[in-house]
């Protein structure tokens, strides 16, 4: 009894310490929540409390081990670092140091994700994601990129300088200084290596060029027929305004490729869910020439649209060293500036979205999968064993088979009569060796159009529409990247992995990439729409963004004169919807008004008076979006749901054209009813459905129906940790408007640059330089962003006398 | 009273060299040395670290304008940063209370052993 009395508190004590030192997973209503080790976590000395910022950093001189150079970093009032160095090694070392100091967790999370190592640090719940990452060949692609970087002395130097800087910061850290997320997820920072830069770059390819519709297109072609495909995915909407204006004449002949006589029909297979391309990952950019501006010098604008996160995917920096003085935003993990300007030029990017991801149906010799049929013979496969470590668990070994196309994934078929699994190999741009850093290095230092073109020639992926403007008065746009030379529609369906005619037969020569310089109309622009007019000799894709944003930008720029930076800033916030303009009048016309209640009439009146701006303070945008969505679904879902195969849905702009032109379009009829419905029937039914759903979801018709609430604009934390984001922002915009804010997507950076003898930049992103949720700087730009503000960017010509604080790296 | 103050001072000192559970060691040793009765042992042990930890937390919370504690409150699903401060105090207090209690009991049983 005595022993028991003695032992019990001791056992409890040990038990308590043990429990409080470990992560705990608890089940709440079917969901598993993982709590950080509570004892470690709430310790005021070294737990999360240590990350609460209670005083501003002070100027300091830091002696960094192993660093023989010298760099001065001045932080301005928004805490943007301005780096002054005397040589390139010191410059990029300092960039690595400073980025790590503000965004270490972001750098680590992104590269762990890009290399399929999340499970190693976070545990089993990330295992399935890691497996997909490995199977996609992400680490494989990064290894190839690394090899190519090693071959370029300059790139290799700066990648290593950057790594050294990052590591100098990491080695200065004690556990109590670890960024907050490490404490929440309970792991420690690890050393940075050059291959992580490669991982980060491949991650951008995954984000921007990592989707395709091959399975869906194949299935849809099979199920609804080639006519349906032609009607919805080949005919371009009339209002489409391609990026390179149709007036551009092409002065070359394409390099021909041979196409097969008939298109391969693949075994119907369930679509691989992770690869679908969501809309929302796109962007706007444009440049106007001096002939249209007040100053007589060009103005350039860019707002890339991405998933909005805290911290932001972007980070502002100024790099100043002999030969370079550039300001802009960077991606955490790569040296250099990705979007920005210098004393002579400005540049920006939007996603091209060309088809650089193709699936090939593989014919294996037998279950060993050691050989596959191609070009009339059996060829050997190679095996790559992916070792996935799991925190607190057993290491998982995943064997991935590689063909010359790429890695193979097994696809379960639920349509195929014989119920045999199907194997698809992936040919993907991310698997190419690439040294994109070299392109940004060149852009950062470019002084004119020729320099810009030279820099672009090094760029591989993900293909971007690079907009350009210079002090000399030039404006230009290149649809740029390494692009496969394809026959028309090659790769939009699942390809025949046995026939070499389906392989990528070559590349479009750099000089043949669509481009335009100083067009007569006085402006260039891109909003992810078609790259060029149908007369462009090469095939790039059949699936670009709907026409609305591109046309709106061009319509506005065409009529504007005496343009100022403020005009461009306002234009970035333009929320006009061509979708509403082209569809709503017809919906109102087809609406049967026989049995309307008073509220219904009020709503219809509101819609009639609406000016098509997706303004947060208006109710009409909410109603329109929901009504048009219900209408679209009513037309297609009944037919689409008659098969289990996943199919491809028509894009909204083409849908609007067809539905207006064809009152007898057979999909209008609801096949689940005996009656043959007309547009009027469907539109009216959708109207009542919408009213009921909005009443249910938002409450009674009134202020609560405002678009600012319905748009569901959230900025989640990068690792989706609750409490560390910003939710429910009352915003304007829509995916079809220039201000393409919607849900968790939107303009992740807004920039306007006025060229001239003194280049002036304006910009912001919804976040802050600091990646520390305990700092007021973490999210301070979210509200200005929501309101459409831009800050004047502090582009320093020489070392400043006034600054917030300074770090001297020695 | 002295025990309370000693607990806080030693907790502060040990935390400079050991991780958070160092407070268990100092608590145990002090419980062993000063051998308070069981009720008081747990009570004073708890109170000392409850005050020390939640005091520090409160200070940081105020100096930081509640920015981080509010976010952590949401993350943990507890609705208010004050609760986070309380949880901080309770965690420290529990460990310390049990440590002091254990120390006292061990000393107790050793004494009884030597008497026999």
Measured CA distances, B75 to A118, A478, A715 (Å):
21, 45, 15
Q: Say how many domains are in chain B.
A: 1
In a domain, B111, yes or no: no
Same domain for A662 and A535: no
Report the pLDDT averaged over residues A383-406.
95
* Predicted pLDDT at A212: 84
A276-314, pLDDT tens digit by residue? 565 656 799 999 999 999 999 999 999 999 999 999 999
* Predicted pLDDT at A265: 85
Q: Do A17 and B21 count as a contact with CB atoms less than 8 A apart?
A: yes
Same domain for A490 and A362: yes
Residues of B in contact with A20 (CB under 8 A): 21, 91, 95
Residues of B in contact with A9 (CB under 8 A): 98, 101-102, 105
In a domain, A748, yes or no: no
Closest Cβ opposite residue A44 in set B60, B65, B67: B60
Report the pLDDT averaged over residues A790-800.
95
Tell whether the model's pLDDT for residue A69 goes beyond 90.
no
Domain extent, residue B37, equals: 2-105
The answer to whether residue B9 neighbours chain A at the CB level (below 8 Å) is: no
Which residue's entry shows tokens 């005919």? A235
Torsion from C-alpha of A227, A228, A233, A237, nearest 10 degrees: 90
Give the pair of three-digit tokens for residue A770: 């600091």
Q: Do A6 and B63 count as a contact with CB atoms less than 8 A apart?
A: no
Q: Say how many domains are in chain A.
A: 2
Q: In sequence order, what are the residues at sequence separation of 6 or more whose Cβ sits closer than 8 angstroms to the Cβ of residue B58?
A: B85
Same domain for A544 and A582: no
In a domain, A427, yes or no: yes
**Which has the minimum average pLDDT: A237-246, A292-301, A615-624?**
A237-246
* Predicted pLDDT at A443: 97
Which residues in A have their CB inside 8 Å of a CB on B?
A: 2-3, 5-6, 9-10, 12-13, 16-17, 20-21, 35, 38-40, 42-49, 51-55, 175, 180, 184, 721-724, 773-776, 778
Same domain for A180 and A99: yes
* Dihedral sign (CA A150, A152, A157, A163): negative
A19-40, pLDDT tens digit by residue? 999 998 888 777 778 899 999 9
Q: Do A776 and B65 count as a contact with CB atoms less than 8 A apart?
A: yes
Residues of A in contact with B61 (CB under 8 A): 52
In a domain, A783, yes or no: yes
Tell whether the model's pLDDT for residue A347 goes beyond 70.
yes
In a domain, B21, yes or no: yes
Interface confidence: ipTM more than 0.85: yes
The domain boundary residue, chosen from A670, A688, A705: A705
The domain boundary residue, chosen from A705, A730, A753: A705
d(CA A471, CA A466): 17
Residue A179 sits in a domain whose CATH number is 3.60.20.10
Report the pLDDT averaged over residues A66-74.
89
Same domain for A544 and A419: yes
Closest Cβ opposite residue A49 in set B19, B56, B95: B56
Same domain for A605 and A542: no
Domain extent, residue A423, equals: 57-209+240-265+288-297+306-548+764-810
Query: Taking phi first (over 0 means left), then psi (-120 to 50 degrees means alpha), and beta for anything else, what does residue A17 get?
Result: alpha
In a domain, A251, yes or no: yes
Same domain for A590 and A542: no
Same domain for A796 and A696: no
In a domain, A361, yes or no: yes
Beta strand A314-321 with A324-331 is antiparallel
Q: Do B91 and A42 count as a contact with CB atoms less than 8 A apart?
A: yes
User: Beta partners for A378?
Assistant: A373
Q: Do A49 and B73 count as a contact with CB atoms less than 8 A apart?
A: no
* Dihedral sign (CA A610, A616, A617, A621): positive
Same domain for A588 and A540: no
Intervals of chain B under pLDDT 50: none
A249-270, pLDDT tens digit by residue? 999 999 999 999 888 888 765 5
d(CA B33, CA A317): 58
* Predicted pLDDT at A269: 59
Residues of B in contact with A51 (CB under 8 A): 68
Same domain for A485 and A401: yes
Same domain for A582 and A535: no
In a domain, B47, yes or no: yes
In a domain, A722, yes or no: no
In a domain, A725, yes or no: no
In a domain, B113, yes or no: no
Tell whether the model's pLDDT for residue A190 goes beyond 90.
yes
Closest Cβ opposite residue B106 in set A6, A55, A175: A6
The answer to whether residue B63 neighbours chain A at the CB level (below 8 Å) is: yes
Tell whether the model's pLDDT for residue A509 goes beyond 80.
yes
Same domain for A605 and A506: no
């Amino acid at each position: 009894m005595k022993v028991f009395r003695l032992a019990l508190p001791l056992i409890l004590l040990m038990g308590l310490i043990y429990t409080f030192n470990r992560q705990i997973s608890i089940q709440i209503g079917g969901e598993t929540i993982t709590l950080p080790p509570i004892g470690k976590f709430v310790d005021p000395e070294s737990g999360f409390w240590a990350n609460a910022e209670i005083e501003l950093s002070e100027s300091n001189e830091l002696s960094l081990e192993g660093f023989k150079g010298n760099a001065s970093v001045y932080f301005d009032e928004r805490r943007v670092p301005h780096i002054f160095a005397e040589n390139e090694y010191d410059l990029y070392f300092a960039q690595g140091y400073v980025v790590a100091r503000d965004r270490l967790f972001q750098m680590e999370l992104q590269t762990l994700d890009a290399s399929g190592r999340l499970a190693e640090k976070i545990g089993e719940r990330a295992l399935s994601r890691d497996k997909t990452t490995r199977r996609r060949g992400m680490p494989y692609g990064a290894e190839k990129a690394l090899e190519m970087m090693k071959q370029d002395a300059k790139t290799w130097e700066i990648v290593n300088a950057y790594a050294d800087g990052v590591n100098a910061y990491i080695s200065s850290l004690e556990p109590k200084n670890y960024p907050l997320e490490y404490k929440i997820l309970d792991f420690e920072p690890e050393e940075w290596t050059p291959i992580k830069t490669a991982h980060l770059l491949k991650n951008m390819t995954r984000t921007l060029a990592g989707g395709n519709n091959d399975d869906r297109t194949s299935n849809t072609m099979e199920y609804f027929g080639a006519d349906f495909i032609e009607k919805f995915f080949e005919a371009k909407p009339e209002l489409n305004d391609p990026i390179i204006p149709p007036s551009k004449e092409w002065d070359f002949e394409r390099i021909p490729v041979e196409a097969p006589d008939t298109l391969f029909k693949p075994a119907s297979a369930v679509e691989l869910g992770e690869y679908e391309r969501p809309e929302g990952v796109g962007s706007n950019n444009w440049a106007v020439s001096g002939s249209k501006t007040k100053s007589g010098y060009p103005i350039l604008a860019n707002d890339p649209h991405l998933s909005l996160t805290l911290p932001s995917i972007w980070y502002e920096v100024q790099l100043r060293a002999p030969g370079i003085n550039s300001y802009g935003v960077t991606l955490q993990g790569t040296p250099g500036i990705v979007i920005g300007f210098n004393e002579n030029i400005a540049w920006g990017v939007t996603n091209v979205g060309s088809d650089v991801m193709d699936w090939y149906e593989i014919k294996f010799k037998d279950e060993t999968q050691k050989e596959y049929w191609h070009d009339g013979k059996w060829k050997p496969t190679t095996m790559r064993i992916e070792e996935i470590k799991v925190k607190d668990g057993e290491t998982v070994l995943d064997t991935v088979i590689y063909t010359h196309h790429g890695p193979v994934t097994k696809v379960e078929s639920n349509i195929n009569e014989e119920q045999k699994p199907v194997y698809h190999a992936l040919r993907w741009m991310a698997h190419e060796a690439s040294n994109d850093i070299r392109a940004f290095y060149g852009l950062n230092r470019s002084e004119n159009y020729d320099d810009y073109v030279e820099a672009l020639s090094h760029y591989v992926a993900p293909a971007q529409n690079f907009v350009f403007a210079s002090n000399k008065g030039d404006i230009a746009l290149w649809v740029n990247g390494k692009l496969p030379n394809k026959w028309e529609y090659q790769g939009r369906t699942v390809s025949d992995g046995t026939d070499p005619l389906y392989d990528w037969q070559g590349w479009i020569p750099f000089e043949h990439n669509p481009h335009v310089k100083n067009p007569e109309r006085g402006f260039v622009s891109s909003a992810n729409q078609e790259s060029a007019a149908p007369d462009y000799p090469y095939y790039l894709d059949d699936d670009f963004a709907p026409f609305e944003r591109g046309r709106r930008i061009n319509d506005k720029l065409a009529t504007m004169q005496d343009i100022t930076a403020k005009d461009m800033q306002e234009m970035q916030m333009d929320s006009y919807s061509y979708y509403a303009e082209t569809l709503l009048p017809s919906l109102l016309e087809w609406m049967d008004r026989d049995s309307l209640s008073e509220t219904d009439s009020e709503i219809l009146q509101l819609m009639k008076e609406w000016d098509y701006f997706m303004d947060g303070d208006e109710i009409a945008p909410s109603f329109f979006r929901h009504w048009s969505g219900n209408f679209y679904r009513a037309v297609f879902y009944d037919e689409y749901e008659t098969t289990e195969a996943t199919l491809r849905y028509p894009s909204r702009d083409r849908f609007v054209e067809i539905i207006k032109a064809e009152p007898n379009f057979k999909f209008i009829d609801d096949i689940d009813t005996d009656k043959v419905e007309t547009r009027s029937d469907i539109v009216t039914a959708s109207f009542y459905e919408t009213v009921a759903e909005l009443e249910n979801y938002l409450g009674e018709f009134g202020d609560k129906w405002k678009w600012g609430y319905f748009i569901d604009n959230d900025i989640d934390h990068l690792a989706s940790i609750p409490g560390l984001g910003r939710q429910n922002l009352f915003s304007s915009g829509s995916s079809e408007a220039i201000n393409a804010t919607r849900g968790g997507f939107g303009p992740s950076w807004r920039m306007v640059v006025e060229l001239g003898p003194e280049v002036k930049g304006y910009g912001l992103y919804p976040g802050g330089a600091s990646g520390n949720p305990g700092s007021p700087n973490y999210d301070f730009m979210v509200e200005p962003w929501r309101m459409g503000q831009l800050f004047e960017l502090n582009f320093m010509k020489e070392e400043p006398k006034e600054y917030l604080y300074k770090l001297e790296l020695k | 009273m002295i025990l309370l103050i000693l607990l806080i001072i030693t907790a502060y000192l040990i935390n400079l060299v050991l991780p958070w559970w160092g407070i268990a060691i100092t608590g145990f040793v002090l419980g062993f040395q000063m051998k308070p009765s069981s009720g008081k042992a747990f009570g004073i042990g708890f109170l000392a670290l409850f005050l020390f930890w939640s005091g520090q937390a409160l200070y940081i919370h105020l100096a930081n304008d509640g920015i981080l504690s509010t976010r952590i409150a949401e993350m943990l699903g507890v609705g208010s940063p004050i609760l986070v401060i309380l949880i901080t105090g309770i965690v420290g207090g529990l460990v310390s209370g049990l440590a002091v209690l254990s120390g006292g009991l061990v000393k107790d049983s050793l004494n009884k052993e030597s008497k026999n």
